[in-house]
A and B are shown apart, each in its own frame.
Chain A
């Protein structure tokens, strides 16, 4: 079974960069003031999901 990948809800993200600073895979980038997860790099570790102070990162629906 393929694990779901993290995805940033663009409408919610306030661009603090916390997720980028803790991502062990270097899979998140800031693009036009929104964090964006590179799905290929993401290993579903959940660190960014837990770190987001306003819950703007979720699991992608399959």
Chain B
């Protein structure tokens, strides 16, 4: 079997890369270790409405709820509101990730990509020290798949990068460890996504309630692995649900665990190998959001691969265009929010309450971490000293 590109992982990063590479005629294969694309879901299922601009999804079947805004609750319950009304109506969706992923994969197939399920990459195929494809376990068979380019879209626990010599092991302070219930029969009728912060609620992370239709919501928690103990995330989540009258009668339709990299951007190209999505740590360290970045980076990766195939050049220099594009588009934002994450981790609950109190009536014009940072600096010039590096990064 010989392809122009073999992509490991059929999540959003893999499928979108495949779509844009296949569109220009490249011969593309996606391998997926599981028996179904998008299953099991490992996600809070929130995404910015910016996804619409990429035109990679048809219909509306993948949308569970259109959000009207977000609330952030400080440790003592002070509420900050980000409303669609003031944010130019562009907020976000809560999606059905299984359908979402399958729609993205279907889009890639429509453009000519092939998919192989039950196929787990077990090593890179190398000849004379050069990457020539992958070796994979397909059911009970070990197979070699030759390709000019290998793409690792293999998620947070990516091994493709490691095999190529890219350092991808995460430090515990760069990982949010997560658990989430999809709860039914709850008394939650708000089209807002709610975030709860504080050391006693979610140490080093946050707890979320994302509505997914009438009386159903994703209720989950992410805590920083360096502040975690065995089973701490689920204990904190259960405790929170038990104390909320509107949630405690809920019954779970689904329970999932998750791992979210909240790290600095890393090297994403090595010779003829590319990393995309969570594998490349393309996740916002403040929000833990990675879906939108995976799709944007997937587009750049696919387009770069298409050009490489056209020119028949599969070297580092040709593929580096992808890394330049994604780092220009959102790499700086990720770095800035990494610094913001570190500043926030240092804040006591009391400080967070005080800051929230000053923003409780604020009308945010944009749905972003940056708009909150800007508002904080306006309200608290004394914070400037701490936040100055962030403002510099924001302008960079």
Whether chain B is bound by chain A comes out as yes
Say yes or no: A22 contacts B169, CB within 8 Å. Answer: yes
Interface string of A34-57 (1 = CB under 8 A from B): 000000000000010111111101
Q: Known A16-B257, A17-B259, A51-B177; judge A22-B225 contact (CB<8 A).
A: yes
- Among B207-215, B228-236, B242-250, the one that faces the other chain is B228-236
Q: What is the chain B residue whose CB lies nearest that of A46?
A: B230
Q: Which residues of B contact A16 (CB under 8 A)?
A: 42, 156, 178, 256-259
Q: B162, B179, B255: which has the most chain A beta carbons within 10 Å?
A: B179
Does B172 lie at the interface of the complex (its beta carbon under 8 Å from any beta carbon of A)? Answer: yes
How many residue pairs link A and B with beta carbons under 8 A? The number is 89
Q: Which of A17, A24, A26, A51 contacts B225 (CB 8 A)?
A: A51
Q: Which residues of B contact A53 (CB under 8 A)?
A: 177-179, 221, 223, 228, 231-234, 257-258
A18 adjacent to B169 (CB under 8 Å): no
B228 and A51 contact, CB distance less than 8 A? yes
For B234, the chain A residues whose CB sits under 8 A away are 53-55
Report how many residues on chain B are interfacial, defined by Cβ distance under 8 Å: 34
List A1-36 residues whose CB lies under 8 Å from chain B.
14-18, 20-24, 26, 30, 33
The residues of A that contact B170 with a CB separation of less than 8 Å are 21-22
Contact-size category for A: 20 to 34
* Bound-complex Cα distance A62 to B169 (A): 29
Expressed in whole angstroms, the minimum distance between the Cβ of B61 and any Cβ of chain A is 26
Chain B contacts of A18 at CB under 8 A? 156-157, 175, 177-178, 225, 257-259
The residue that A54 contacts in the complex, of B33, B162, B179, B223, with Cβ under 8 A, is B179
Within 8 Å CB of A58, what residues of B?
230
B155 contacts partner chain A, Cβ-Cβ < 8 Å: yes
In the complex, residue of chain B having the shortest beta-carbon distance to the beta carbon of A17: B157
Is B169 a contact of A21 with CB atoms below 8 Å? Answer: yes
Chain B nearest CB from A50 CB (Å) reads 5
Given contacts A16-B257, A53-B178, contact A47 B172 (CB under 8 A): yes
In the complex, B261 has a CB within 8 A of chain A: yes
Nearest Cβ on chain B to A21's Cβ, whole angstroms: 5
B residues in contact (CB < 8 Å) with A: 33-34, 40, 42, 155-158, 162, 168-172, 175, 177-179, 221, 223, 225, 228-234, 255-259, 261
Q: Told that A22-B175, A47-B225, A50-B225 touch, could you supply 5 new A-B pairs with CB distance under 8 A? A: A14-B40, A14-B255, A24-B169, A51-B228, A53-B223
